[in-house]
Structure 1
């Protein structure tokens, strides 16, 4: 009597594949396929006004990597934005988490108010900031003039405009850091802090020698996730300044967007996107290795 072949997947494995199939299909259609199309376009002369799709090899990559605007403005702006926005939101978020970690009257109300930025879309927040820092009738200049100071053209100067962008991003992401760090603080063991209190250790030494070292894995994970996300920031910069004045506040995402959808050069825009993806891949791998080293230490 012939023995039937054993199926490759058992009933449980088939059920698991059935459950993940919709998510895998969406990932394939909206992530893998667009990346493949973009990679193909980056090797071709693919312009919407002349879509011949002629193979040009690495010409677009060479054009991007030798573009002075990309090397001298876009990349420095992007990394400066990533470092300052992440560090600023981390410092403010950690400070608020330390304050909220101690019970006080109205704590729930304060926590609810701190969550407000998480409920605001980045574009709405950027529009709000643009009106606040308007040089003619913005509330910031109105307050300065009320105090006898001179109003500033905030969004038409490079560093003041860049500062407004950073302020908006930090305001949006501080509650995210606060929530995660507060959860980390509340999960720390109480015994070391009780022993330090009995020994009369100062608050600063408790923070630097107990809280920070024990909270370090949570901080590193938050920084890694936020830094990768900050590299691709587009919405608030486009809404606030459009990369201006000139191109002085242009970040990487705007650079690729302008090439592909304003200059209608999909080939070069795709090459810029691939270059940016490779850069953030290298940065992400380095950060994840840092996370692994910290968690094992």
Structure 2
């Protein structure tokens, strides 16, 4: 579920000396996997890790009776190299028809944030990166407006103005893909980016783009959801962080949050309250994705918190 990183950069990241010290040669790895459910999966995974000196520090698993798939997330310390573990896990994957991913636990994921004019989600992500060790490396801010360039500058994040009109949409998306390639971007976050991505772009970045929708999906899709919610007299407003697909606001949901309201609240009140909900939901979704706690299960997600 991550963008492809260049082989050279991936090798440098996986051998990053910050993952261990000269006095402690072990690396803290995180392994995620999914496969058809059957007996013996946990034992086989634990056995392979043990054969390579692995000490499991965290393990979560889930068998989905509906899809028949088994999901697992393991954190393990081991002195084995990435190549050694990859070879062993590849053999195991062949036996169990696994899809799997191995990474250094806590490695900062190279992230590009897309915005329009609303500042609250960008500000929150950048602040959390700086103050709370959110495991992202914000390598660029891309916007169809220039309003948030000063905020990006405050956080020392390169800003790219990529205007979008109906006539230039294809060129704008091509420029985005160029930046993804040039900057080795692994994750794209739509932090209130008020443009609809094309089907082609959604396919190119499938499972790799997180959007925050300012409503509690599946209700109140599309534009002006708080006005829609106010018109319906809702008692709860919310926000939904989800992966982007070609179906508007229908991608697999990662996280949702809510705030209670009553008849005294205006639509403007709901917008103000909703911004805080949006920040919280998006930050949690980004953290869980970058910590490899989110696995796709068709149009749903498995989230190991």
Q: TM-score range by the shorter chain?
A: under 0.3
TM-score (norm 2): 0.24
TM-score (norm 1): 0.24
Whose RCO is larger (CA < 8 A, sep 6+)?
Answer: 1
More helix by share: 1
